[in-house]
Structure 1
Amino acid sequence: MTDPLLAELLELARTAAARAGALLRDGRPADLGVAATKSSPIDVVTEMDIAAEKLITGYLSEHRPEDGFLGEEGASREGTSGVRWVIDPLDGTVNYLYNLPTWAVSIAAELDGERVVGVVEAPMRGETFHAVLGGGAYVNGTALRCRPAPPLDQALVSTGFNYVATVRTHQADVAQRLIPRLRDIRRGGSAAIDLCDVAAGRLDGYYERGLHPWDLAAGDLIAREAGALTGGRPGLPADGDLTVAASPGVFEPLQKILEELGAWHD
């Protein structure tokens, strides 16, 4: 990497994610409980989500005090440098609460509104994914490439479900109508990891409605830098209405079917 700013942002993101991941992995209390709820009583925040975000924002502020922040647990600062950090300190909180291994720390850096660095730390897998705009995607230093596209009826696709019951009911209906047209559907519980698994060739595709910027910022960049296509509804970028990521050849037919099935609305 030749750009000193991007190199600096990547190193800071990797260090912050590694420190937060270690805190979450090694500091998880045996009696971990719910500290707050968000969209519904089952959409939870734990004390560890909050502690991890404080660690990340504190570390980044120490090194780049003029940068902005957008964090899932409330970190928000405009900044004056043109750099904004988009942070999910614990993606997959319910998995973490239940001591399931599929959770991650996700940190992305934007420069003048464009995502330029993404890091996803998955401590229970022993994996660190990262990407720099135009520089490719990697896991533990090994270059990533998305999977060659199979026919759609042989594609393995992951998705996620909302914690609001009425929204989840519609999402389940979409999945029920989609699954006969695919090899199968998986539901891992961490958008960041699903996006990285598309990048790593472990999934042919992924889609979900209702993601926030911190859910997808780092993983979207990692998937694209590994050769996947990402977007939302046809002609639109990935957003809260719909996020789709898939190998070229799977992306367009999957996106088209999701549009027909109304996956972009509740």
Structure 2
Amino acid sequence: MAGPTTSASPEDLELLELARTVAREAGALAVRMRAEGVSVADTKSSPTDVVTQADRAAEELLRERLLAARPDDAILGEEGDDVAGSSGVRWVLDPVDGTVNFLYGLPHWAVSVAAARDDEVVAGVVVAPALGREYDAVRGGGARLDGRELRVRDSGADPGRWLVGTGFSYRPDVRRRQGRAVAELLTRVRDVRRDGSCALDLCAVASGSLDAYVEEGPHWWDHAAGGLVAREAGARLEVVPGVDLDLVTCAPRATFDGFAQVVEACGFAGPRV
């Protein structure tokens, strides 16, 4: 596989290679467990916000492999307790981003592994086994899909030509308001897609499969790796307080300001209530 050829540091490239190795292994584990039958282990924000046994097993594998290779690093994962570290590197993990898709046998789910220094993501990998795709990025080294360099789409300034990805909270009260915002968004853009994985939606912006993405509610582990892929491909990503939860907005740098204005006009952004 072709590697980064620009200004990425050797240390960040080492983190990228480790992220790639462990993400592939966790993805293979999740695929095996999916074939054996999905078991729901718990729920989180609502009864429909599920955690499977594969989420937990894949995160445990990621933690074990990363700490075996770099025992002084910190770890932040979706499904487990935080691990403190002393190296200055923190791993940000989502073992199965798109768990409901995984539960139903839909292909849009991914293992997301990112490495951060001082809360800045410097390396990230998003492996989507059911789609046969592997995205990766390193700070200053660009972004790739299966070794092919990625660049965002030249979306143009007309919102009516933008295809926008989004997602929804699992809390019914938040989802009701989000639905109204998306309904307004539909009147202003080409169309809206909801594929169910924040990480893959951000990678879709990077590859030009989406013109922009907005969602209220993703956590750092949802967008850490995918966000770096998008930024290194030429996108701008911002996380700001939304109405109820943090709002993640991503679009090509040239059209970001215009997209942010549309997002705000549709009712996504505003003071917390």
Residue 182 of structure 2, aligned match among 151, 156, 175: 175
SS at match of 2:134: strand
Which residue of structure 2 aligns with residue 243 of structure 1? Answer: 248
Q: Distance in 2 between matches of 1:149 and 1:99?
A: 32
Q: Distance in 1 between matches of 2:161 and 2:115?
A: 35
Which residue of structure 2 aligns with residue 224 of structure 1? Answer: 231
Give the TM-score normalised by the residue count of structure 2: 0.92
Q: Distance in 1 between matches of 2:37 and 2:185?
A: 39
Deviation readout 1:212-253 (Å, 9 max, x if unpaired):
1100101111100000111134xx8xxx52111112343212
Tell me which amino acid in the other structure corresponds to 1:96. Answer: F
Deviation readout 1:183-202 (Å, 9 max, x if unpaired):
00000000000000000000
Q: Distance in 1 between matches of 2:248 and 2:119?
A: 19
- Assess if the C-alpha contact under 8 Å between 2:169 and 2:175 holds in 1: yes
User: Matched residue pairs, number?
Assistant: 263
* Pairing 1:203–2:210 present: yes
SS at match of 1:243: strand
- Assess if the C-alpha contact under 8 Å between 1:57 and 1:75 holds in 2: no
Residue 107 of structure 1, aligned match among 89, 110, 113: 113
Which residue of structure 2 aligns with residue 16 of structure 1? Answer: 22
Q: Distance in 1 between matches of 2:119 and 2:45?
A: 27
Q: Distance in 2 between matches of 1:157 and 1:43?
A: 23
- Identity across matched positions, percent: 50
Tell me which amino acid in the other structure corresponds to 1:186. Answer: R
Give the TM-score normalised by the residue count of structure 1: 0.94
Which residue of structure 2 aligns with residue 28 of structure 1? Answer: 34
CA apart distance, 1:29: 4.6
Q: Distance in 2 between matches of 1:77 and 1:177?
A: 42
Q: Distance in 2 between matches of 1:247 and 1:113?
A: 23
CA apart distance, 1:262: 2.8
Which residue of structure 1 aligns with residue 95 of structure 2? Answer: 89
Tell me which amino acid in the other structure corresponds to 1:260. Answer: A
Q: Distance in 2 between matches of 1:205 and 1:142?
A: 21
Structure 1, unaligned stretches of length 5 or more? none
SS at match of 1:134: coil
Return 122-131 or 43-52, whichever deviates more. 122-131
Return 223-232 or 61-70, whichever deviates more. 223-232
Deviation readout 1:91-147 (Å, 9 max, x if unpaired):
000000000000000011001221100110011111110001111000111000000
CA apart distance, 1:205: 0.4
- Assess if the C-alpha contact under 8 Å between 2:215 and 2:248 holds in 1: yes
- Assess if the C-alpha contact under 8 Å between 2:77 and 2:94 holds in 1: yes
SS at match of 2:253: coil
